[in-house]
A and B are shown apart, each in its own frame.
Chain A
Amino acid sequence: MIKNFKFWTGFFIIFGLIASSIIFSVFFDSHVRQVQVLYDENMTPIEAAPFEPSFMFPLGTDPLGYDTAGKVLQGAKFTLISVIVIGILRVIFSFAVAIPLAFYMPEKIRKGLDQLLSSFYFIPLTIIAIFILSPILKEQIKIPEMEEYFIYSFAERIGLEIIILTLLVVPLLGSMIGNMMASTLKEDFIEGANVLGASRMRIFKKHVMPHLLPKLIIVWCQQCVQVLIIFTHLGYFKLFFGGTDIDFNPFWRDPPKSLSNEWSGLVGNYYTYIQGNPAIALGPIIMFGIAIYAFQLMAEGFQRHLETRKVKGFKQAKRTKRQEDAVEASGKFQFLQNRGA
């Protein structure tokens, strides 16, 4: 059992957001209240939408009077679940790529491949994501008939977005996990197992996996953070998760709409109010910040847990303070270096 305050804080923030969002949609049918004018007891109007954040509207309302907090709550499940799914897929795919890299390649070829894959460091992810996802997510228009359409259906759009956001990082992440695996394979106990005649499969299952799995959880948390950041970027460029509804009416255009109130849509819709009415614009972005912080807390707490856990069955000798500090420092170092190089 993980005994770490940070980890559980992060976990409960994410879990709480998703759970409350699902409860909101099941029991209240995701009904977002709309208040356009506030009256006092004598029925004289005292305030009109948009409202500033207050006790009544924790995140304020948008100009039409819809409660931003309600919208955020409604969208939380779409955003967070898709982030978690993309994070898991990224790790699984990269893991699948990493296995042949670490097990079947000679050291030299692996280093070479690593070099090749690191060319992806120079391709900025957001720009490519915007570029590839635009034709999928933006509503198109047929010129002569003025008919609006999407190239793909709703399910296909979501599927494609998840696949593309996954595949874009697989080269880098795959080589990173491959390096992690290869460094595990160089440990002394693997050599021992080899001498004793363990097969590759056994080494993989009994020795590499227990070592790697906890690290993969940390990698997963980092990937979730990265996906969240890409979602804010895509939202700013009006590419919303699951498709952007664009109004092609030539005379009075509605702004692009998100189909499900997921958070990147809210960011995209509200960012224009940043100068005039900052409260509206900041709400959804702050929610992204909270989610990112939660994932980071999880990663850090888990890291901490790995360093201080007791191995089952062995009573560990009490370490001196100095040793513990050294372990902590080296653990942190490894983790950040993996992220960097």
Chain B
Amino acid sequence: MKIAKKLLLQLLLTFLSIILISGLPELIMNKNVSAYFGKVKAVFIEMLYLNEMTYLNQGIKRPFLEDIWEPYFYSLTILFGALFIALCFAQVLTWGTLMLPNFIRKIIKNILTFLESLPDLLVFALVQMGIVLIYKKTGVLVSNVASLGAEDRIYIVPITCLMLLPFVYFYKMMILMTEEEMGKQYVETSLAKGMKRLYVLVFHVTRNTSEGIFHFSKSVLWFMISNLLLVEIIFNIHGITHYMYHDFRPEMLAACLILLVIPFFLIFALFEWTIMRYSKRSEAL
């Protein structure tokens, strides 16, 4: 129960900071503190009556909540799909890499440092160019490079774009953490007992690294949400950030961000609870 209380408080504070931030442009435009607080109050009231909130769609007022669900879930699919695929790939490759000799691992780590420093915009550009190139050379259209409108859904390209960098981050992090874990006593004991290296790696080491990876994934996700905005605009995807960017009002921003925050919050709370429950290590944290 203690953890539930803590999480609820954290959620409320996140909402509060989102609302406080969303008033800031008002402060900057008018250089007037009371206008800022007026705006914050207005946004706050708007958030309380979210079901009555409206937005302009081609000059017509439409209820916000009615229209937002489909793009919202579409965005979530892309985001979580990318996160999930990146995690799985990275985990499998880590197992493979850890079976390799040390000097190859070193080379891989150096390559990963290099890949880590690719700006995300460059990755998106390369994916876009790659698809066009494949199409020109072979005539096979891997996927549409851009979505044509609200009804048109593309999945492969945005998910690929979004997953590439998180995959590199996870991969490098996992290699470092697993290598550290491999130096511990229990691994030596189990290897001495005659267990297979792969078995120890998959069943014992992975469980112990997973907690660190979970904490790391928070910051990866943080940066993926920013990337989602870029991807959706580059590929003309009609997701939640479409509403955010094309109707850049404080109310809209606050509403969209709050909607985006909720699922993450729930998932992280669930994981945290599981870890608290099943591992004694978390007591130290």
Contact with A along B14-54 (1 / 0, CB 8 A): 10011001101100110000000000000000000000000
> In the complex the two chains form, is B28's CB within 8 Å of A135's CB?
yes
Bound Cα distance A292, B222 (Å): 19
Nearest Cβ distance between residue B24 and chain A, in whole angstroms? 5
Determine if B225 is an interface residue (Cβ-Cβ < 8 Å): yes
Contact with A along B210-245 (1 / 0, CB 8 A): 001001111100110111011001000000010010
Bound Cα distance A121, B225 (Å): 11
Which single residue of chain B is at the shortest CB-CB distance from A325?
B183
A229-B253 contact given A127-B225, A329-B180, CB 8 Å threshold = no
Determine if B278 is an interface residue (Cβ-Cβ < 8 Å): no
Which single residue of chain B is at the shortest CB-CB distance from A282?
B125
Determine if A332 is an interface residue (Cβ-Cβ < 8 Å): yes
Which single residue of chain B is at the shortest CB-CB distance from A226?
B223
Which among A95-103, A111-119, A194-202 touches the partner chain?
A111-119
Nearest Cβ distance between residue A164 and chain B, in whole angstroms? 9
Which single residue of chain B is at the shortest CB-CB distance from A340?
B216
Q: Name the contact of B226 in the complex, choosing from A126, A135, A285, A289 (C-beta under 8 A).
A: A126
Determine if B87 is an interface residue (Cβ-Cβ < 8 Å): no
Contact residues of A between 325 and 341, Cβ < 8 Å to B: 325-326, 329-330, 332-333, 336-337, 339-341
Determine if A261 is an interface residue (Cβ-Cβ < 8 Å): no
> In the complex the two chains form, is A122's CB within 8 Å of B222's CB?
yes
Bound Cα distance A151, B264 (Å): 37
Q: Name the contact of A233 in the complex, choosing from B18, B24, B219, B230 (C-beta under 8 A).
A: B230
> In the complex the two chains form, is B18's CB within 8 Å of A123's CB?
yes
> In the complex the two chains form, is A132's CB within 8 Å of B28's CB?
yes
The A-B contact count (CB < 8 A) is 153
Q: Name the contact of B257 in the complex, choosing from A121, A123, A337 (C-beta under 8 A).
A: A123
Which chain B positions have C-beta within 8 A of A123? 14, 17-18, 21, 257, 261
Determine if B104 is an interface residue (Cβ-Cβ < 8 Å): no
A236-B180 contact given A121-B222, A131-B25, CB 8 Å threshold = no
Which chain B positions have C-beta within 8 A of A337? 212, 215-216
Bound Cα distance A271, B25 (Å): 27
> In the complex the two chains form, is B125's CB within 8 Å of A278's CB?
yes
Determine if A300 is an interface residue (Cβ-Cβ < 8 Å): yes
Nearest Cβ distance between residue A229 and chain B, in whole angstroms? 6
> In the complex the two chains form, is B253's CB within 8 Å of A275's CB?
no
Q: Name the contact of B218 in the complex, choosing from A225, A278, A340 (C-beta under 8 A).
A: A340
> In the complex the two chains form, is B28's CB within 8 Å of A160's CB?
yes
Nearest Cβ distance between residue A90 and chain B, in whole angstroms? 16
Which chain B positions have C-beta within 8 A of A278? 125, 129
Nearest Cβ distance between residue B226 and chain A, in whole angstroms? 4
> In the complex the two chains form, is A282's CB within 8 Å of B22's CB?
no
Which chain A positions have C-beta within 8 A of B13? 116, 119
Which chain B positions have C-beta within 8 A of A119? 10-11, 13-14, 17
Which chain A positions have C-beta within 8 A of B17? 119-120, 123
Which chain A positions have C-beta within 8 A of B120? 229, 232-233
Number of A interface residues, CB 8 Å? 56
Determine if B118 is an interface residue (Cβ-Cβ < 8 Å): yes
Which chain B positions have C-beta within 8 A of A218? none
> In the complex the two chains form, is A296's CB within 8 Å of B219's CB?
no
> In the complex the two chains form, is B212's CB within 8 Å of A340's CB?
yes
> In the complex the two chains form, is B215's CB within 8 Å of A131's CB?
no
Determine if A124 is an interface residue (Cβ-Cβ < 8 Å): yes
Which chain B positions have C-beta within 8 A of A121? 218-219, 222
Determine if B117 is an interface residue (Cβ-Cβ < 8 Å): yes
Bound Cα distance A225, B120 (Å): 12
A271-B212 contact given A126-B226, A132-B28, CB 8 Å threshold = no
Which single residue of chain A is at the shortest CB-CB distance from B145?
A275
> In the complex the two chains form, is B14's CB within 8 Å of A332's CB?
no
Which chain B positions have C-beta within 8 A of A132? 21, 24-25, 28
Contact residues of B between 230 and 285, Cβ < 8 Å to A: 230, 233, 241, 244, 248, 253, 257, 261, 264-265
A interface vs B, CB < 8 Å? 115-116, 118-128, 130-132, 134-136, 151, 160, 225, 228-229, 232-233, 236-237, 267, 271, 274-275, 278, 281-282, 285-286, 288-289, 292-293, 295-297, 300, 325-326, 329-330, 332-333, 336-337, 339-341
* 5 closest residue pairs by CB, A with B: A340-B216, A126-B226, A341-B215, A124-B225, A293-B117
25 CB-based A-B contacts, threshold 8 Å: A120-B17, A123-B17, A124-B222, A125-B226, A130-B229, A134-B25, A135-B28, A136-B28, A151-B29, A228-B119, A236-B230, A237-B233, A267-B121, A274-B125, A281-B125, A285-B119, A285-B121, A285-B125, A329-B183, A333-B180, A336-B176, A339-B216, A340-B212, A340-B215, A341-B218
B interface vs A, CB < 8 Å? 6, 9-11, 13-14, 17-18, 21-22, 24-25, 28-29, 113-114, 116-122, 125, 128-129, 132, 173, 176-177, 179-180, 183, 212, 215-219, 222-223, 225-227, 229-230, 233, 241, 244, 248, 253, 257, 261, 264-265
